[in-house]
Amino acid sequence: MKFLSNLRSKVESWLINDTLNNTSFTNINNDSNSFVEKFGLHQLCLLEMFDAQSQCFYGSDTAGFGFLLKSEQYTQNQYQALSELVHHINAGYGLQITSMESVLLVSVSCNVAFTNTDDVEAMQAVQTKLFELLDACFDVEHLTAQSLINIASDMLYPHRALNGDAEQLIYDDLFFVRDQLANYDDVAVEVKKSSISYQKQQEWFTAIGFGVQRYYDANISPAAEEYQRFIESKLASIQGAKAYFTLGVYKPVKSKKPKEMSLYEHQHRQKLRVYHIFTVVSKEHDATTLTKIATDAIRLFDYQVVPLHNRQLAALFFGLPICLGLGTAEDIYNLRLCKSVDLVHHHDVFPVIYNLVAHNGKEI
C-alpha cells in the first residue's frame, strides 16, 4: 500500500507542477521518464482485485465497476440515457464514458474499501440501477477483469491496437489486476512535452492527449437531432490512427465551506465536474503533424480541443477505466481541465458518440 501512496503523490506532482496549455511548465519530464523506466506504463493502473460474483473491482483506496455497451445505431434515447447516468450515482462517485473500437465503456469509481460492507452494498445498488437503465437501450455486458486488462493494455501500448495482432491477455485471479496488464521490455517509451513516443524494433508510434478547453454554451445547446445531422454531414476519422475519447463526471460530496475558501469557489466545487480527455495514437512519427490532424478531425460545433502539453501521462491516467476517485477529480479540477455544471447535457455526451461512429461507420 505504501508503494501505491507514493505513486499517487508522484503522479500528482507531475500534474500540479504545470499550468494550462504549457504557458509555464516547471518540470522537464525527468520524473516522467524515470517512472516509465522504473515501473513501466502498466503501473498507472491501480486496481488490485476483481470479484467475479459481484463484477466489481477494488484497489488500495478505490473501488468500482463497469459496463461494455454495443449498438447497431445511436438514437436520441441513448443520448438521454448516457447524459442521465450521473444523476443515478452517489455523491463522491466518478463516472467515465469512453469510446473505443466498436464499444462504449462506462465505468464508475468511488473511494470505498472492500472491507466496508455498507459502502460496498451501496456501490452494488448503484451498479444494479445503472445496468437496468443501460439495458433498456444498449446491448450491455459487465466489464470483467479479462476485458479490462486487454482494454487498458491497448490504451497504454498503442502498437497492440494499431497492428491488430496483439495476443489477448488471460486474467488469473491469483494475481493483482494491475500486474496483469501488458508489459513490453522491447518497447522504448519516451515521455515528451507534447507526446509520448514508442519504439518497437524499427516501428515508431506516437500518442497525444487533448483536453476540451472551451465547451459549447449549455444554454443554447442543440437538440439531439441536430447532433445527429451534424455527424451525418461532417463525420471525420483520422486515417491510420486510433482515438479514445473519455467523458468524465465527478459528483462531489456536499460539504461545509472551509474558512480559507471563498463562497464562490466553494459553490463551484460543489457542482458536477465534467471533463473530456481525447487520446490519439498513430504511426505518425511527427507529433506536430499528428496534433494538427487530430485537432482538425475533432473540431466540431464550438468545442476547442488543446494538446495537454507536458501532461501526456496524465492523459493516459485520466482515461483509464475506474480511476476517477476523489484524488484524481481534484487533480483534474486544479489543472482546469473540467467545467462545473448543474446538469450533464447532450453536448457533453456528443464527442464520445462522434468518436465512436467516426471510427466504426455505424448508423446514426
147-156 mean pLDDT: 93
What's the pTM value of the predicted model, to 2 decimals?
A: 0.86
The mean per-residue pLDDT over the stretch 325-338 comes to 84
- Parse the chain into domains and list their residue ranges: 2-360
72-118 pLDDT, tens digit per residue, is: 777 778 888 998 999 999 999 999 999 887 789 999 999 988 888 99
Q: Which three cell numbers stand for residue 68?
A: 461494455
Residue 26 — very low, low, confident or very high, per pLDDT cuts 50/70/90? Answer: very low
Q: How confident is the model at residue 120 (pLDDT cuts 50, 70, 90)?
A: very high
* Cβ burial 319-345 (10 Å sphere, 16+ → b, else e): bbbbbbbbbbbbbbbebebbbebeebb
Confidence of residue 298 (pLDDT cuts 50, 70, 90): low
Percentage above 90 pLDDT, the chain:
30
Which of 38-52, 195-209, 277-291, 303-317 has the weakest average pLDDT?
A: 303-317
Instruction: Give me the pLDDT at residue 140, please.
Output: 95
pLDDT at 244: 86
Residue 10: the pLDDT is 56
Can you give the pLDDT at residue 20?
38
Whole-number pLDDT of residue 25: 33
Is the pLDDT score of 216 beyond 90?
A: no
